[in-house]
Amino acid sequence: MAAATLEHWIDLLQSRGRYSFLRDEAVSQSGLSRDSVRKALRKLATRGRVVKVKDYFYAVVPLEYQSAGSPPMSWFIDELMRAMGRPYYVALLSAAGQHGASHQQPQEFQVVTERYIRSQVVGRAKIRFFTSQYMPQAACMDVKTPTGSMRVSTPETTAVDLVRFAKSAGQLNHVATILSELATSCDPKKLLAAVKKVGDLPNAQRLGYILDLVRRKRITMPLHEWLMRQDPNTAPLWSGRPVEGARNSRRWHLLLNGSIEVDV
């Protein structure tokens, strides 16, 4: 009976366009005891009607997403992060997809926040959190979702992050492929501003080189002029690889210790 009562409350929640809730909300609004709600949620999760994201936070699973075990992360990420009390923005490949630059569906939903959070499996998908001390200053934008909105890194912030976290974005080959499309949405001055907020010269050099490589030289001019004023040290294009015999990119002060292949 408790599960049926709670499911009726969840049905009403969904009818109003909400696909997530706090366990405390279920207790206060369903009229059930805390123990009854806990047991009912366990039954509903077994049936696939809800999925537990955190002990205190659940997502509602509509029929069309029951095979996935969860609604899209974009439907509840903003509510989840507010419940956790953490600032955030949707980032990397997940952000690139929002900006129309994605060759394949990411295997995980990628989010940047200011402190460490363990990755969270939700249904058949995963939310992966990245930590950045520069997160509070990063340029972001609100993107509408079917249930409200979420914070997403701007195209320029996304470009910077893709190079910074290249290993988690499919390495530089995949990053270059994404940047070839994402760059059309980037403003040269805003790109430089995003680079300055991080101040990571080697990755700024790599970003400039890749953008030149994918024939987006138009947006690298302010970046190149600024970098030359910083007098950067020569860095390897591929970090962690040997540099013996590598050609030197004089324009970007990079040792080309590996090629980059772009999937066009």
- Tell me which of 263 and 191 has the higher pLDDT: 191
| Averaged pLDDT for residues 16-31 | 94
Domains in the chain, start-ordered, CATH in brackets? 2-65 (1.10.10.10), 73-256 (no CATH)
Q: Which helix (H) or strand (E) holds 14?
A: helix 2-15
Q: How far apart are CA 76 and CA 62, in angstroms?
A: 13
At 127, which amino acid appears?
A: I
Of 169, 174, 142, nearest in space to 78 by CA: 142
Q: What is the pLDDT of residue 142?
A: 97
Q: How far apart are CA 196 and CA 200, in angstroms?
A: 8
Where do the H-state alpha helices sit in 16-150? Answer: 23-30, 34-47, 77-84, 92-98
Let me know how long the chain is: 264
Of 15, 85, 21, nearest in space to 56 by CA: 21
**Per-residue pLDDT at 105 exceeds 80:** no
At 178, which amino acid appears?
A: I
Name the pairing type of β-strands 254-256 and 235-236.
parallel
Q: What is the pLDDT of residues 144-156, one digit of tens each?
A: 999 999 999 999 9
Q: What is the pLDDT of residues 193-239, one digit of tens each?
A: 999 999 899 999 999 999 999 988 889 999 999 999 999 999 999 99
Fill in the DSSP letter of residue 100: T
pTM of the model: 0.92
Q: What is the pLDDT of residue 104?
A: 66
Residues in Cβ contact with 196 at an 8 Å cutoff, skipping those fewer than 6 apart: 226
- Angle at CA of residue 194, ends 189 and 199, nearest 5°: 120
| Residue 76 and residue 59 in contact, taking contact as beta carbons nearer than 8 Å | yes
Q: What is the pLDDT of residue 1?
A: 54
